[in-house]
Amino acid sequence: MKFDTPATGNPIDQLKVVGKPLDRIDGPLKTTGTAPYAYERHDVAADQAYGFVLGAAIAKGRINAIDTAPARRAPGVLAVVTTLDMPPLEKGKMNTATLFGGPDIQHYHQAVAVVVAETFEQARDAAALIRVDYARQPGRYDLAAEAPKAELVPGDSGEGSGAPPEDRFGDFEGAFAAAPVKLDETYTTPDESHAAMEPHATVAAWEGDKLTLWTSNQMIAWGKRDVATTLGIPAENVRLDSPYVGGGFGGKLFLRADAVLAALGAKAARRPVKLALTRPLVANNTTHRPATIQRIRIGADRDGKITAIAHESTSGDLEGGGPETAVSQTKLLYAGANRLTAMRLAVLDLPEGNAMRAPGEAPGMMALEIAMDEMAERLGIDPVEFRIINDTQVDPEHPERRFSQRQLVQCLRQGAERFGWANRNPTPGQRREGRWLIGMGVAAGFRNNLLTKSAARVRLDGQGVVTVETDMTDIGTGSYTIIAQTAAEMMGVGLDKVSVRLGDSSFPASAGSGGQWGANNSTAGVYAACMKLREAVAQRLGFNSAEAEFADGQVRAGNRTVPLGQAAGGDGLVAEDVIEYGDLAKRYQQSTFAGHFVEVGVDALTGETRVRRMLAVCAAGRILNPKSARSQVIGAMTMGVGAALIEELAVDKRLGFFVNHDLAGYEVPVHADIPHQEVIFLDEVDPMSSPMKAKGVGELGLCGVGGAIANAIHNATGIRVRNYPITLDKLIDKLPQPV
């Protein structure tokens, strides 16, 4: 199905099932511990052995030799495969570093060997017996030190954010120099880890020359392609199966070492192998969100109209990598006639920087939304009103392109009213409750809507049961449920008559899970397949497909009503289709918007910050399931608390690794850190987006939260911190003296 004209009335608009806050159909499996995650696929291949990965002990250099003899003699060991046993493996399309093979070390904990043994403990202990002779070389591990040498580069997150190396519109320098009110500040964000609950894990089994991987992966089609490329085998000989993913946040978008080494280990041991990366390897061997240094300049007239805005970001990555696209939202979020954005990339020898939930916008808005708050303060204008004054209904750099839907002003106004913004004291440091300094902060939320083709297969049997098959993944987002709702709505049946099968590469290739594109595109693919199935049903029954109504498990046309299952017959019916998009996204800018409001308390004696309450008001197209969408937003808001207050990968700048590489040292928010969270979805449909008229929301809930928290801390204390995370040491010596 080609979607190239705006959506009009269609079966989804009935909203009998779609749009309802239904419980997740996979909930019982997850709450009873019976959902099959990758490392727990005990039943899929008999006689599984265990793999353990040895990571490099240096960050830059070469391997002179590897002594595996003691490991091979260890109890229970079945095979040892080292990086010197083969030349560098071909890199998958999405990989920056080589995952295995060859003597060169590109980053700390790059995989250098895998041990396969009868038990996990035997494999781990044998790996500790391997002796590696390294030739260490000097490395570049300090972004601030390398930033002056960083070159202008283009960037594309692959998730809807991107920019050329330098982009100019109008005369920024002239307008900035002439502006009566100016801001020129630098902000930094740190390296961050995905810290998903489920580590990267795979069970690998060979049957002749065919490989099956039961793995934890967000993008099945990408994974299948890159496994074939990396191992040098035909893609038709590779199968990936990932029905449940226990968190990914972008860290499982791409092929990683667990899948490659499980496959190599299984071939060497001639046994199925299960392998999970340990927490230190998750931090140092896989990907992370790279740190940024961001300079923002804003000029405005005294009425608050922005006349000049510039956003320049520097980040680092391995040779051949790309930048964090932190300037992307600044190209679209606020009006201003004279504009400059630029991205620079420093070459670092740290582990690979890549996509983490809302790459680009998440760290970019942490800086931009503090800058907007600072500018409002200098102008003496309320921060909410300053953002509203500079709203735009067109792409500022391409005014002929209107936004398909843009309700940012409504998000801010409704949020301000609901949150009690009028009660905020605009003078910082004035509100106290005992030893706590209380403040409120606001930030806009922004995330682009990305359209990507997605396919599905739909089966109808004689009992009227509809089965959906697509390689779409559920990373805790509710994919099973919204896909089931879509099929139920389209075919006129209840959820109890829908079965959803996901995550298998033998199914039609979907959009996959990432960049908040999964829900809209995968359900649109199911919509397309169901439309084809409806036509097949009507044809078999002799109905005019345009007149056929599907409701209550029956098909009606004129004065005839037939049970849906009867149309399937004994052999059933099968339909498959793919949603593909025309140029609507080029003609209309498609984005999602939010207003984030936060109240914090800061201990006047210790500098400890506690978030007291949070509100997100979101405009993100049709909400397919308000309950699961709310879960996505509050989860994202929680990540925003972590990014603002505690999350930071500490870099050892001498040896080039992340020191706090486990969940004991890398802190993330826990239940006690998170207060009351409220989410409001504005009534919106976007006919330019898809037949579902939906968009995404899972990352919108994160973008802007860090800035709102930083602004609330400033309102509470009068202290402006521009370097995340905002830990108490950055506040304690500047706090107002007790009255």
Give the whole-angstrom CA distance, residue 614 versus residue 628: 18
Q: Are 549 and 492 a contacting pair, CB within 8 Å?
A: yes
What φ, ψ does residue 293 adopt, rounded to 5°?
-120, 120
Give the whole-angstrom CA distance, residue 620 versus residue 693: 10
- For the record, the structure tokens of 733 come out as 């010596």
Burial of 454 (0-12, 13-18, 19+ CB in 10 A): buried
Q: Is the peptide bond before 725 cis (omega within 30 degrees of 0)?
A: yes
> What residue has token string 């200098």?
378
Partners of residue 230 on adjacent β-strands: none
Computed on alpha carbons and rounded to an integer, the radius of gyration of the chain in Å comes to 27
Give the whole-angstrom CA distance, residue 541 versus residue 714: 68
Dihedral class, residue 420 (left if φ above 0, else alpha if ψ from -120 to 50, else beta)? left
Give the whole-angstrom CA distance, residue 334 versus residue 388: 9
> What DSSP line would sit under 592-655, residue for residue?
EEEEEEEEEEEETTT--EEEEEEEEEEE-BB-S-HHHHHHHHHHHHHHHHHHHHT--PPEETTT
Of the residues 374, 599, 648, 699, only one is catalytic, namely: 699
Which of 439, 427, 507, 410 is closest to 467 using CA atoms? 507
What's the sign of the alpha-carbon dihedral 390, 392, 395, 400? negative
- For the record, the structure tokens of 360 come out as 């680009």
Q: Where are the alpha helices (DSSP H) in 513-577?
A: 518-541, 564-568
- Residue 561: HSE in the Cβ half-sphere, 13 Å Cα cutoff: 5
What φ, ψ does residue 686 adopt, rounded to 5°?
-125, 95
Give the whole-angstrom CA distance, residue 100 versus residue 110: 8
Give the whole-angstrom CA distance, residue 259 versus residue 111: 12
> How far, CA to CA in Å, does 231 sit from each of 224, 511, 556?
11, 24, 53
Q: Where are the alpha helices (DSSP H) in 114-217?
A: 120-127, 143-146, 172-178
> What DSSP line would sit under 456-484, residue for residue?
EEEEE-TT--EEEEE----SSS-HHHHHH
Among this protein's residues, is 699 annotated catalytic? yes
Q: Are 64 and 134 a contacting pair, CB within 8 Å?
A: yes
Give the whole-angstrom CA distance, residue 270 versus residue 268: 6
Partners of residue 187 on adjacent β-strands: 294
Q: Are 146 and 316 a contacting pair, CB within 8 Å?
A: yes
Please tell me whether residue 707 adopts helix, strand or coil conformation. helix
Give the whole-angstrom CA distance, residue 161 versus residue 163: 7
Which of 610, 605, 489 is closest to 551 using CA atoms? 489
Q: Are 134 and 61 a contacting pair, CB within 8 Å?
A: yes
What's the sign of the alpha-carbon dihedral 531, 532, 535, 541? negative
For residue 445, how far is the Cα from the chain centroid? 15
Give the whole-angstrom CA distance, residue 515 versus residue 537: 35
Name the residues annotated as catalytic. 699
